[in-house]
Structure formats: structure tokens, C-alpha cells
Structure 1
Amino acid sequence: MSLGWRDAALLFARVLIALLFLGGAVQKVLNPADAMSLLAGFALPVALIWPAMLFNAAAGVALILGQWTTPVALLLAAYCGVTSVFHWLPDDPWQMTIFVKNWAIAGGCLALAVAGPGRFSVGRAVG
């Protein structure tokens, strides 16, 4: 039995997760004030938004291409865990939903890290 559907599912998973991070990069470029406000609220340098934006964009592209899937997915899982701290506001149900979603995305990234890119990747994919 062919397991081609698994490779297709991995591609779809990579693209869906990548779109989230690419969207985050675009959002940081078009409206940096919101993310800068979060950083400032934690007494962090607001300039951290730019390396975060670059990381979001580069990681998203790498996932879509299926390049460095395991290390990129592990870094994204850690990124989701770290950034979830910004949303830990127990009195705000909306922020708590985002907090939980960050951990769910981290779980998806960990699953990608274990599974690797699958058969559908560009060039020489490094797991």
C-alpha cells in the first residue's frame, strides 16, 4: 500500500504552519506597534520585533520548501513556548486562548520535527 497520502499530509501540515508564521512576519512589518507594545510591556527592547519578523519569515519559507524541517520545527516549537508568556493573562479569555494555541502550534511543530519533511520538498531536504 502506498503511503503517499502521508507525504501529502506532511506537505499540507508544513504549509499550514508556515502560513501562520509568514502571516506573523507580514503583520509585524505592516503593524509593528502591537508587537512592540507587548515587548515594551515586558521591559524588552522593542527592536526585538525585527529579528522575530526575520525568523518568522525565514522559518515559514523553510517549512514550505521542506528544508531543515527538524531543526526549524524545533526552533519554532521553542519560539511558541517562549512567546506564549506574552499571552498568559488569566483574566483575559481571548489572550488565554492564544496562550493555549501557541502550545498547540508548538505540538504541531514537534510532530513535524519528528516526522521530517516527507517526500515533497525542494532540493536536498535535511530532516
Structure 2
Amino acid sequence: MTDVMNLAGRILIAFLFFAGAIQKVVDPAAAQTMIASIGLPVAFIWPIALFNLVAAVCLVIGPGIGRWALIMAVYCIFTSWFHWQLRADPWQVTIMAKNWSIAGGLLILAAQGPGRFSIFR
């Protein structure tokens, strides 16, 4: 049962990154605004969307699920900085906390590994 829950957890976390990639492609304006707010070119949206997509696939099937989980945990912590907008939009602070929580789950996955249900080991 542990391996089934591990797989289900990986799929659910991967879905978040997959949906994020699709959202960035379909409606990039909001993410481009956040990227521009720290002085980076808005064209960074495309490699970020690709990164989200590749990470989603790798979290589910590998290779290197543990490494991808660690990379994505760091990514969640870093990108949470964009959401610290207490006065402008308090809801964004909740999204920041969500990112930290996802990072926690990813760190557990990085520590425990993918279980027996992964294509690559």
C-alpha cells in the first residue's frame, strides 16, 4: 500500500506542475508579470514552462525521481518569493504557504525515493 500511496502522491504533485506548465503556455501574462518584477526577461516564461512539464513527467516516471523531487522543492521555495504580497494581494501569501507545503512533500519524496512503482530507478 505504501508504494501505491507514493505513486498517487507523485501523480498529484506532478499534476500541479503539469497544470502550471499548461497555464504558462495558454495564458502567460500573469507569470510574465512576476518574472518581469524581478528584472528578468519575460521570455523566461517558455523555459520555465518546459521545466515544469519535464519535472511533472519525471516526478511520475523518472528518471531520477529523488533528484527531481529535490530540485522541485528548491524551485517551490524560490518561486514562493513571488507570492509574498501581503498588502497588494493577501491571497498570494496563502499560495506562498502552499508552495512551502509542497516543498515539504517533495523533500519527503526525495528522502524516501519513488517506491517500486517507477519505470526508472
Considering the TM-score relative to the shorter chain, is it more than 0.5? yes
Whole-Å separation in 2 of the counterparts to 1:106 and 1:67: 19
Q: Equivalent residue for 2:42? A: 46
Q: Cα distance, 1:27 vs. partner? A: 0.4
Whole-Å separation in 1 of the counterparts to 2:46 and 2:39: 16
For residue 86 of structure 2, give the secondary structure of its aligned residue in structure 1: coil
Q: Equivalent residue for 1:28? A: 24
- One-letter code aligned to 1:119: R
What number of residue pairs does the alignment pair up? 120
TM-score by length of 1: 0.91
Unaligned runs of 5+ in 2: none
TM-score by length of 2: 0.95
Q: Could you tell me whether the CA contact under 8 Å between 1:66 and 1:120 is conserved in 2?
A: no
Q: Which of 110, 115, 118 is the equivalent residue of 1:118?
A: 115
Q: Equivalent residue for 2:94? A: 97
Q: Deviations over 1:25-70 (max 9, x none)?
A: 0001100111101111222111111111111000100111143111
- One-letter code aligned to 1:64: V
Whole-Å separation in 1 of the counterparts to 2:44 and 2:63: 25
- One-letter code aligned to 2:71: L
List, as ranges, runs of 4+ consecutive aligned residues in structure 1 with deviation greater than 6 Å. Answer: none
Q: Give yes or no for the alignment of 1:67 onto 2:63.
A: yes
